Structure 1
Amino acid sequence: MTTDVHPQVDASGPFAVRADLETPNLLLDLDVLERNLDEMAGRCHQYQVGLRPDARTHRVPQLARAQLDRGADGVSVAKLGEAEVLAAAGVSRMTVAYPLVGTDKAQRALRLAQRCELTVGADSAAGARTLGEVFAAAGRLLDVLLIVDSGAGRYGVDPVQAARVAWDIAELPGVRLTGVLTYEGSVRDAVDQADLTARGRAVAGAMVEAAEAIRSAGLTLSTISLAASASARTVVAEPGVTEIRPGAYAFNDVGQIALGNATVATCAVRVLATVVSHPEPHRACIDAGWASLGSGGLPAMADRSVFGGTGLLVGLPGWQIEQLCAEFGWLRWVGAGPPTALDVGQRVQIIPDHVSMAFAGSAEVTAVRGGEVESVWSTMGPGASR
């Protein structure tokens, strides 16, 4: 890597922030955030596709409200605990986009469904039955989306088995099958932009085909829901897709830059850190580690000569974060020529590789606009992960 700015990394500088902010600190620029929200909501409106963002990315009720205020139809989450916190904050439409299993979860879901419009995911009749029994006993119906594995290999039924499993779920008391959903994480394995687009279209096509097979078997489905910021701008335009659930798009991160979906200027989140040690010209230490920056692999098409560290140091070409421990990070000079100077006490800003991990490691986020702190919001505590 040289000190020249790489084409994938624009020359946008750090956010303007007050000098008295403590570090490490998770910063959110509200102007950038709102432009990102408006851009995705505009795409969904153009193609008449629903937008139900993944609030698990940020786990901040105020940000879920901002997404709803700027065009989202609802939000999606990973856990009931997240949904419960958001319902308490007034969010009225939610999808728990992961399998819920067990009477304990069913009873919580029943209480939650009395406070909001709730949809949950299921990928087996056995799992859905544990929910349906509780809802049927209460004289209620729970809306369920069949989770389909579109290549990520995490959970979900094989597309060729979708119609059979859909019927098994639809016949259960207490549940109403309303559609299919997937997380197309496999698109992150794309090797270039053309491959990324092709993979997104292939997943959309496979999901539409699975839905048509279910409809041909005699069931009515209204929802075909896909979720990945990596491919959101592709799948939103694919015929048959009715909803997308991206998360990182609102903030962006190094992964989204590497995929060509973002630039430094469209990244709304930075981790503010302080240089606390500079023992040699070519190395330094900051007070932010993986507890603040998070961790997580970059997409396959990321240029490792540009994104080879852990997070992107803004406005410091030639410097990379070489290594992280829980509370500290080690910087190393990898540019051409002698290192550019850093000072002990200097503030630096880092775009995280994976923005959801940065939110997960932070107790609060500092929302700034025009260099001034507008709000400080708490993120959900560990209990929301249940």
Structure 2
Amino acid sequence: MTTDTRPQTATPDLFAVPAGLETPNLLLDLDVLERNLDEMAGLCQLHQVGLRPHAKTHRVPRLASMQLDRGADGICVAKLGEAEAFAAAGVTRMTVAYPLVGRDKAERAVRLAQRCELTVGADSVAGARTLGEAFAAVGRLLDVLLIVDSGLGRCGVAPADAALVAWDIAELPGVRLTGVMTYEGSVYAATDRADLTRRSQEAAGVVVDTAAAIRSAGLTLSTVSLGASASARTVVAEPGVTEIRPGIYAFNDLGQIALGNATVATCAVRVLATVVSHPEPHRACIDAGSKTFGQDGLPATAHVDAYGGHGLLVGLPGWRIDRLSEEHGWLRWAGPGEPSPLTVGQRVQVVPNHVCMVFAGLGEVTAVRGGEVEAVWPTIGPGASR
């Protein structure tokens, strides 16, 4: 890691950064974060929709507590390891939005349900059966949401098959089917704001209609849950939706900027990095590579020309993070005319393409307010991905 002892002064888009921070470093502006949390909580309150933020975005217990304190009625996670760590930190209501398959996962879920109010997603009778057997063996019921494919083509049953699968799951011992859920990741392919709205409404319609078909088949469902930050501001107002599970909304990133959901000013995070090499005017390297940023590009190719690369270099128009190796971000000049100057040792701030990968890569976040460090929070440790 590289240390620069010079303070960095804020501009409208640059964070005020205290001297002495090592790089690479994930900075979180608490004022911006709190505004983002309040905005989404307010939308959910307005439309009487539950908010269960996806905490796999950050994996930080203190941030989950802030979300709960500011309007969330629980959190969502991807893996049991995440759920176990958050339960140990005192979170009492969680959804594991990931198919749990196998006896080992089922037994861990039983132990977890002794510490929190647990809901899990399932998209197969086989997976739900193993869970139900483990819970029935101890005389308990596990709340299950049927995962529905709303267009992404990843997990989830086809809407046409949902009623039959729902009945098969509902009849299993140890299981209580309480609703349907989806991750409408297909909306990230939107080319513009109008396309994003259309895709979001279509995804919501698929899941609401699927829930209606299951109810018509004779089952009672209370929850219709959708789960993407890209679509959250649209689907929260769609009739029939009862819950949303966005994660990135709290921080925002370049993917959300490209979709029109955020601006640089509403991005609560920056990766602070240092220029460590500048051998020619048109190229340089920073000390943040794929281990910091991950390799994710922008979700929609329609935005690559406008934003491109592996993150937005704030306040450095014309410079692009053109390539990543493990420990290097390869800066290349892509602007008109001669390159604007950089200096070795200069600190730069980057809005990442995908903020989830930065939390995972760096393993901690530096919380700042008014240019002063308030705290450094680690992400949950080894085992979180199991």
* TM-score, length of structure 2 as denominator length: 0.96
- TM-superposed CA distance for 1:341, in Å, is 1.0
Task: List runs of 5+ in structure 2 lacking aligned partners.
Answer: 1-10
**Alignment correspondent of 1:14:** 14
User: AA paired with 2:343?
Assistant: D
SS at match of 2:210: helix
Q: In structure 2, what residue type is equivalent to 1:225?
A: S
Identical-residue share of aligned pairs (%): 77
Q: Tell me the CA shift for residue 97 of structure 1.
A: 0.4
Q: Whole-Å Cα distance in 1 between the matches of residues 62 and 255 of structure 2?
A: 24
Partner of 1:100: 100
Partner of 1:5: none
Q: For residue 208 of structure 1, what is the amino acid of its counterpart?
A: V
Q: Which amino acid aligns with 1:152?
A: L
Structure 1 residues 189-268: aligned runs within 5 Å: 189-268=189-268
State how far apart, in whole Å, the 2-side matches of 1:72 and 1:232 are.
14
Structure 1 counterpart of 2:184: 184
Q: Which residue of 1 aligns with 2:123?
A: 123
The 2-side partners of 1:16 and 1:302 are apart by 32
Give 1:85 shift. 0.2
| TM superposition shift of 1:340 | 1.1
> What is the match of residue 142 of structure 1?
142
Deviations 1:159-198 (A, max 9, x none): 0111000000000000000000000000111222111101
Change (3 A) 1:12 1:306: farther
Quick check: 86-95 or 286-295, which moved more? Answer: 286-295
Task: Find the counterpart in structure 2 of residue 39 from structure 1.
Answer: 39
How much does 1:295 deviate?
A: 2.3
| 3-state SS in 1 of match to 2:37 | helix
Q: Distance in 2 between matches of 1:149 and 1:381?
A: 31
Quote the Cα distance in structure 1 between the aligned partners of 2:280 and 2:164: 64
Which residue in the other structure is 2:3 paired with? none
Measured after TM superposition, the shift of residue 13 of structure 1 is 2.5
SS of the counterpart of 2:306?
coil
Hey, what's the Cα distance between the residues in 1 that align with 2:170 and 2:306?
Answer: 49
Question: How big is the shift at 1:302?
Answer: 4.5
* Structure 2 partner of 1:324: 324
Q: Provide the residue aligned with 1:72 in structure 2.
A: 72
| C-alpha contact 2:298 2:308 (8 A) present in aligned 1 | no
User: 1:235-279 CA distances to partner (integer Å, 9 max, x unpaired)?
Assistant: 000000000000110000000000000000000111100001111
Using the TM superposition, give the Cα deviation of residue 281 of structure 1 relative to its aligned residue in structure 2, in angstroms.
1.0
Alpha-carbon distance, 1:313 to partner: 0.3
* Counterparts of 2:234 and 2:112, CA distance in 1: 33
Runs ≥4 residues deviating over 3 A: none
Alpha-carbon distance between aligned partners in 2 of 1:139 and 1:377, rounded to the nearest angstrom: 39
Q: Does the Cα contact within 8 Å between 1:225 and 1:243 map onto a contact in 2?
A: yes
What CA distance in whole angstroms lies between the structure 2 residues aligned with 1:142 and 1:303? 42
Who is 1:271 aligned against?
A: 271
How far apart are the structure 2 equivalents of 1:363 and 1:225? 29
The structure-2 alpha-carbon separation of the partners of 1:362 and 1:145, relative to structure 1 and needing over 3 Å to count, comes to same
Mapped to 2, the partners of 1:302 and 1:274 lie a distance apart of 30
Task: Report Cα offsets for 1:122-167 as digits up to 9, x if no partner.
Answer: 0111110000001001000000000001111111100011100000
Q: CA separation in 1, counterparts of 2:234 and 2:28?
A: 26
Corresponding residue pairs, total: 376
Q: Which amino acid aligns with 1:41?
A: A
- Map 1:285-304; keep pairs closer than 5 Å: 285-300=285-300, 302-304=302-304
SS in 1 for 2:310: coil
Aligned to 2:341: 341
CA distance in 2, matches of 1:102, 1:320: 45
Q: For the Cα contact (< 8 Å) 2:274–2:346, is it kept in 1?
A: yes
Q: Which residue in 2 is equivalent to 1:3? A: none
Q: What is the CA-CA distance between 1:41 and the residue it aligns to? A: 0.4
Distance between the aligned counterparts of 2:230 and 2:292, measured in 1? 23
Counterparts of 1:214 and 1:338, CA distance in 2? 62
Provide TM-score, normalisation by structure 1: 0.96
